[in-house]
Structure 1
């Protein structure tokens, strides 16, 4: 995947691309990231890209011309099948369903706004989609862009060491939260008798898979009832969930 980022502050991304799976993806040549600064497309000496809003009111927005020129230049570089996304609190919220659709594109432009936003004419004529990471305001689109990139690359084949690691993530797993995970040592002295569930040490992969599904159903029900209400349970899932619920109330 090739992602081009249009931002007034491309330096903000330096640390992100230096570590973790983003860095590994770049080294494996599974991901390419390019940066473009709208200031480079201005004619004025001070490279000013913002201006006051017509009609009055506080704050400034990014001007249309530098952004349009940036988008044209990036599209010329990336060529065909490019999706232009504007990170905005007014956009639709990012979820796993959206991520799966976005993976159909191998070339993406992320436009990071600043201040009170950007000229509406850019949105109406040059942006394919507006997306948001939540109902709150940030100083700019750089942090949301970093989050979107991190979510996306986890689903690019070859990025994670195993496919199952990705498929068992929360939300990716049929809209459910992930099941609990444990690792060595088996016994933590600080917790006394509380131990790793024996089923996970049994070697019975069919039973382990059922246990994990049961836990995912129960944990989603407890922690994210809004998600659980949307889930249409199969007969098998109903049985597993009822077992979880009975055990939960029994131990309360």
Structure 2
């Protein structure tokens, strides 16, 4: 059964267009996932297509009305046995990460509610018990691009999308660490050689080097990822020794 993404938005095609290429595009062509764009304006409360109104209490901007969103949400649920994981894109939500992508890849139906203007009437979120999810600590014009980014991360983890599970098991964040640096030909470029161990053909040494580089890269670039994480003390010792011996560098 294909994983369905329902996109409630006033610009639903923006999401679909972003995913019609490369790996996600092939997943759509193969029927491993499907996208259902839903135009909220089709559920507007009047012939003018009204979807928003001024906020109670005053203030700038407009707030999206409950009823059109709710009617669109109910319609989307009815299309697939009345069940879905409903997500509201919001800077106030749970931070989206690789662990959440893996969690969502196991769902049958994910319903993204893309806000616009100054946001969504809180009563819609309370009534539907939709989960608020955030792409990061910044503000976008609407939720469409955030939904597309999250969907890309989720689709990669759907069984059958990538030819080998190893392709994503070894990527950054899958084990909580950044990925090791990658190299290809030429062996020397602008006086910068490929680390010799990668040319050795000794797979155990290569695996160990890559693990140490994951730790070194994470320590240098994203030390926050190591907070509260249990790392084998021997691995720290091996990293310190390799750095001291010049066997590897955080700049590799």
TM-score by length of 2: 0.92
Match of 1:33 in 2: 35
Shift of 1:246: 2.7
Q: What residue ranges of structure 2 are gaps of 5+ in the alignment?
A: none
- Given candidates 235, 238, 245, the residue that maps to 1:237 is 235
Shift of 1:35: 0.5
How far, CA to CA, are the matches of 1:8 and 1:247 in structure 2? 58
Q: Deviations over 1:207-247 (max 9, x none)?
A: 11111000000010111111123321114422332234435
- Given candidates 128, 131, 136, the residue that maps to 1:126 is 128
- Given candidates 210, 213, 229, the residue that maps to 1:212 is 210
Describe how 1:58-69 pairs up with structure 2 within 5 A. Answer: 58-69=60-71
RMSD over aligned Cα atoms: 2.0
Describe how 1:169-180 pairs up with structure 2 within 5 A. Answer: 169-172=171-174, 174-180=175-181
For the Cα contact (< 8 Å) 2:66–2:121, is it kept in 1?
yes
SS in 2 for 1:44: coil
- Given candidates 109, 112, 123, the residue that maps to 2:111 is 109
Match of 2:10 in 1: 8
How far, CA to CA, are the matches of 1:152 and 1:143 in structure 2? 14
How far, CA to CA, are the matches of 1:186 and 1:135 in structure 2? 40
How far, CA to CA, are the matches of 1:66 and 1:248 in structure 2? 63
Range moving further from structure 2, 17-26 or 57-66: 17-26
How far, CA to CA, are the matches of 1:241 and 1:29 in structure 2? 45
Alpha-carbon distance change, 86 to 30 in structure 1, aligned in 2, over 3 angstroms: same
How far, CA to CA, are the matches of 2:104 and 2:112 in structure 1? 12
Q: What residue ranges of structure 1 are gaps of 5+ in the alignment?
A: none
How far, CA to CA, are the matches of 1:24 and 1:67 in structure 2? 31
For the Cα contact (< 8 Å) 1:94–1:132, is it kept in 2?
yes
Alpha-carbon distance change, 233 to 64 in structure 1, aligned in 2, over 3 angstroms: same
Q: Larger % of helix: which?
A: 1
Match of 2:141 in 1: 139
Range moving further from structure 2, 37-46 or 60-69: 37-46
TM-score by length of 1: 0.92
Alpha-carbon distance change, 64 to 246 in structure 1, aligned in 2, over 3 angstroms: same
Moved over 3 A (4+): 247-252
